[in-house]
Amino acid sequence: MLETFFDRHPGWITVGGPDHLVYATLLVLVATGLVAGRRWVRAHEPGVRRVLVGVVVLQQLTLYGFYATAGWDWGESLPLHLSRISALLGLVWLLTRERRVMDVLFFFGLYAWGSFSYPMLIQPVTNVLGWSFWVNHTVTLLLPAYAWITTGWRPTAGALWRAFGWFLVYLSLALAVNRLTGGNYFYLRDRPFFGDLPLALYLPVAVAATLALFWLGYAVARLVGERTGTWRAGAVA
């Protein structure tokens, strides 16, 4: 069993399969607990935040410790997938509560919804990297809701454009590192969609789709805030 848990190549889960359903169900349960228990979370925020810091640090140590012991691959092991950057942003926000960090995390983290809906190259629940995926993405997706509940943070249109600028920087870095290492950061080599499209044509599509995703995420957040009467910054959720 331990061999399977620490196997570097355990195979991938299937969309809609048992592992996918386990990950999605656990995400829903944690999200439900956060929303239903929001008053308790606010009342115990310092302690909750310390626990979250511990969870993220443990996940990061597990992920990179695994890669270091199983064989470091510069094309796979760097913190240059968008989800890994989002997890690090989440850790920085938990330690600093800096609004600008949460602004970027919220918009970058929207991609994690795609990872949960259409998991690509994700390990099963019987593997340590599968649980690393789940912790990473659950934290990425729910930290903005946690900030909404505990600090009164709200996304803004200005923050959207700043996050988009940082995304363009990230995309340029991913392109450069992929070329140097043969990696697949931002899934530019093994793509979930438009795999046959030349990279020169795929890039503007990816940029336009990202901007549309950011606006969609902002619109949904605003709609939820207005429907619940909590859209005004600082309003109690």
The amino acid at residue 126 is T
Give me the pLDDT at residue 89, please: 98
What token pair was written down for 180?
Answer: 């140097």
Give me the pLDDT at residue 1, please: 64
In this prediction, residues 157-172 reach a mean pLDDT of 98
CA dihedral sign of residues 217, 79, 134, 139: negative
> Is residue 236 over pLDDT 70?
no
pLDDT tens for residues 78-88?
999 999 999 99
* Residue 187 per-residue DSSP state: G
Which residues fall within 8 angstroms of residue 196, CB to CB, at 6 or more apart? none
pLDDT tens for residues 101-115?
999 999 999 999 998
Highest-scoring range by mean pLDDT, 40-44, 190-194, 228-232: 40-44
| CA dist., res. 232 & res. 226, Å (int) | 8
For residue 172, count CB atoms less than 10 angstroms from its CB and return exposed for 0-12, middle for 13-18, buried for 19 or more: exposed
| CA dist., res. 144 & res. 126, Å (int) | 29
Q: Are 122 and 130 in contact (CB under 8 A)?
A: yes
Model confidence at 166, pLDDT cuts 50, 70, 90, reads: very high
> Is residue 9 over pLDDT 90?
no
CA dihedral sign of residues 207, 177, 137, 49: negative
pLDDT tens for residues 35-63?
999 999 999 999 999 999 999 999 999 99
> Is residue 2 over pLDDT 70?
no
Q: Is 33 helix (H, G, I), strand (E, B) or coil?
A: helix
In this prediction, residues 118-124 reach a mean pLDDT of 90
| CA dist., res. 57 & res. 62, Å (int) | 8
Q: Hey, how many other C-beta atoms are within 10 angstroms of the C-beta on 160?
A: 18
> Is residue 234 over pLDDT 70?
no
Beta strands in 79-217 (DSSP E): none
Q: Hey, how many other C-beta atoms are within 10 angstroms of the C-beta on 236?
A: 11
Q: Average pLDDT of the chain?
A: 94
Give me the pLDDT at residue 95, please: 98
- Give whole-number Cα distances, 100 to 96, 126, 155, in Å: 10, 37, 10
In this prediction, residues 129-150 reach a mean pLDDT of 96
